[in-house]
Amino acid sequence: QQQVKQSPQSLIVQKGGISIINCAYENTAFDYFPWYQQFPGKGPALLIAIRPDVSEKKEGRFTISFNKSAKQFSLHIMDSQPGDSATYFCAASKETSGSRLTFGEGTQLTVNP
Amino acid sequence: ETGVTQTPRHLVMGMTNKKSLKCEQHLGHNAMYWYKQSAKKPLELMFVYNFKEQTENNSVPSRFSPECPNSSHLFLHLHTLQPEDSALYLCASSPSPRGSDTQYFGPGTRLTVL
C-alpha cells in the first residue's frame, strides 16, 4: 500500500526556472515531512523538512508548502540550477520512536543550462 | 562525506553464491537501517536496528540475513538470491529510531544477481 504518492516522475526545467514536485499522503497520523535529495552514485541526503504546525518553510532557494487539509505537500526550487539536477524523494513519518520513514517514488529533476 | 560507508560498492553474484554487504557509520548513532532501492519505486525499508537489537523486519525473505555486532557496524548476508533482488542496497543511520531523526545514508551497494 503506497502511503505517499509523488509526482511527477521526471521533470525538466530550464536554468533559472522554478521546479515544483508534489506529494500526497494518506495517513493523518504523519507529523513529519522531509525531502531527501539524491545525486547519482550517492545515497539520499536530507534537504529540508517541515512539521504540520506551519504551512511553509523556506531554506535558501528551497521551499516546502504544506496543506494539511488536503494532505499534500510540495517542494519548490526557485532559480533552479544545473547543480540541482538530482532525484528528489518526499517522505513522511510520525515523530515518535520506532516510526518508519515512508518514501515517495522519487522525481528525477534535470535542469538544463 | 556523510559518515556512512558501504562496501563493496558493486557486487555481481550468482543465485547460488553467498556474499555479505558491510556498512559502517562514524557518527556515533544508535539506529541503523537497511533499505532496498529499485528504479521508479519508493525506498523499501528492510531492517531496523537500535542499540544492536533488531526492532523491525519488514517481511524480508530469509535469504537476506542482517547482523549488527555493534552500533557502528551493520551487515547484510545474502544467499540463494533471485534476479529480482538486483537493486541498490542502502545503509543508513540516525541518532535514534525516532521518525523525525535525520537519517544519514551511505552511497549504497549496487547488487546484480545473475
Task: Convert the pLDDT of each residue in A28-53 to its tens digit.
Answer: 999 999 999 999 999 999 999 999 99
**Alpha carbon of A78: minimum distance to chain B alpha carbons (Å):** 24
Task: Please indicate whether, in this complex, the C-beta atoms of B90 and A2 are within 8 angstroms of each other.
Answer: no
Nearest to B50 by CA among B105, B106, B99, B109: B99
Burial of B59 (0-12, 13-18, 19+ CB in 10 A): exposed
Contact A32 B100 (CB under 8 A): yes
CA distance A95 to chain B (A): 4
**A46 interaction partners in chain B (CB closer than 8 Å):** 102-103
By the 8 A CB rule, do A75 and A48 touch? yes
CB proximity A99 to B under 8 Å: yes
* Residue B95 scores a pLDDT above 60: yes
How far is B94 from A2, CA to CA, in rounded Å?
Answer: 24
Distance CA B113, CA B81 (A): 7
- Which residues in B lie closer than 8 A to residue A105 (C-beta atoms)? 40-42
Alpha-carbon gap, residue B79 to B15, rounded angstroms: 8
Integer angstrom CA distances of residue B102 from A44, A69, B99, B110:
11, 26, 8, 23
Which residues in A lie closer than 8 A to residue B2 (C-beta atoms)?
A: 43, 45
Look up cell 556523510; give the residue.
B2
Mean pLDDT value of segment B54-81: 93
- How much is the pLDDT for A95? 85
Q: State the Rg of chain B over Cα.
A: 13
Cell reading at B28: 556515533
Partners of residue B93 in chain A, C-beta under 8 Å: none
CB of B90 closer than 8 Å to CB of A43: yes
The bridge status of strand A10-14 relative to strand A107-112 is parallel
Low-confidence ranges of chain A (pLDDT < 50): none
